[in-house]
Every structure is written in C-alpha cells, then in structure tokens.
Amino acid sequence: MNVIVTAIPDVLIFEPVVFGDERGYFLETFRSDLIEKHIGRVDFVQDNESKSGYGVLRGLHFQKPPFTQSKLVRVVKGRVLDVAVDLRRGSPWYGKSVTCLLDDKRRSMLWIPKGFAHGFVVLSDEAVFVYKCDAYYAPEYDGGVRWNDETLGIDWQLSSSDIRVSGKDALLPAFGDVDCFAYEAFTCENIYR
C-alpha cells in the first residue's frame, strides 16, 4: 500500500494495490502495521456506512473533546470529493483543507485525524461511503462547520444549486465560531504515539 502525505502532513492518503482479473478484484483495505508505521497507535472501535445520491453533501462534521474521532474513509461504490479541514488553533494549516477524490476505481482511503472537520459530496449518481472511527459516536458532542463558509473557500466541484444538505447541516456554525481544538493538544505526535 502506497502512503501519500498531503499538503497538511497529518492528513494521509492510503492507496491500496488492487489485484484484478476477469473474476473480479482483491485488495487490502486495512493494515494495522501500516497505520502504526505512518500514524502511530490507533484503535478503531466503530465502522460506519452511508449511501447517498448525486449532490448530497454530508459535513463538515467532527466530535468535540473529550469524544473526538479520527476516521479512515473510503468509497466502495461511486465517486465523492472528500474534505478534511484543520480546526486546530495555532496550527500552521489552521483553516486550510485537503480535498481528495475517492472512488470505486482507485479505492484510495483518506486519514482524517482528531482536530479536523470532515465532509464529502457525491459526484456520481450514488455513492456508498464507509469509514472506521477510533471513538464511538457521541451525539451530545456533535460539532460541525458550515459547508459553504467563505473563509474556508472549499471548491466542492458542483454548483451550489446541485448540492443537497440536511436541515441540521444547513444550520452548522461558521468556521470562526468553532473553537474546540488547540494545536499543541492535537498534534499527531501527541495523540497517536
């Protein structure tokens, strides 16, 4: 598996080797030794799956301390634009984002560490999206940032008229109103080593 460091070094892309022939394909979707080598110790406790249609945007979500989550995300059907936004005040990348196209052809995975908001928009007719979390979902610690916050300047690669968000996501706060993470406390070295 190839590991790519993104423009924000704590966010990684894992590119699996896909073995295929006329019968189908095979790939490894998770290797704890690779996670430990490139990230550190991560104990995944929950797997999630969602199915969404074209233009559905889910995000930008995170969980507040002390129930923060890291995620390893991938697409098993379709194509999405996946986004991780650095929310760690004091970070050299504060307010910056990493975008990654995830699809069922390349089967890449994106690592989103604690201290980041996460979201995706479906670019295909439909998409099945799966991810591993290192903490259980805690609804009372839900957090989020508005998907179209101008401060973030995210190009979702669709016109806003094609984007569909939930009522809950439409009411998420502006980026400047979120202050949950200090960079010193949420560096990968401090969390996963």
Q: Which residues are catalytic?
A: 61, 131
Peptide bond into 60 cis (omega under 30): yes
The amino acid that residue 78 corresponds to is: G
For 15-93, where are the alpha helices, taking DSSP H only? 32-38
d(C-alpha 44, C-alpha 131), whole Å? 10
Instruction: Tell me which amino acid residue 82 is.
Output: D
Query: How far from 62 is each of 70, 96, 169, CA to CA, in Å?
Result: 9, 15, 12
Q: Tokens 């259980």 correspond to what residue?
A: 136
- Number of Cβ within a 10 Å radius of residue 34: 15
Contact 118, 46 (CB under 8 A): no
In whole angstroms, give the CA distance from residue 118 to residue 153: 15
The alpha carbon of 83 is separated from its chain's Cα centroid by a whole number of angstroms, namely: 6
Question: Taking a C-beta distance cutoff of 8 angstroms, is the pair 109, 129 a contact?
Answer: no
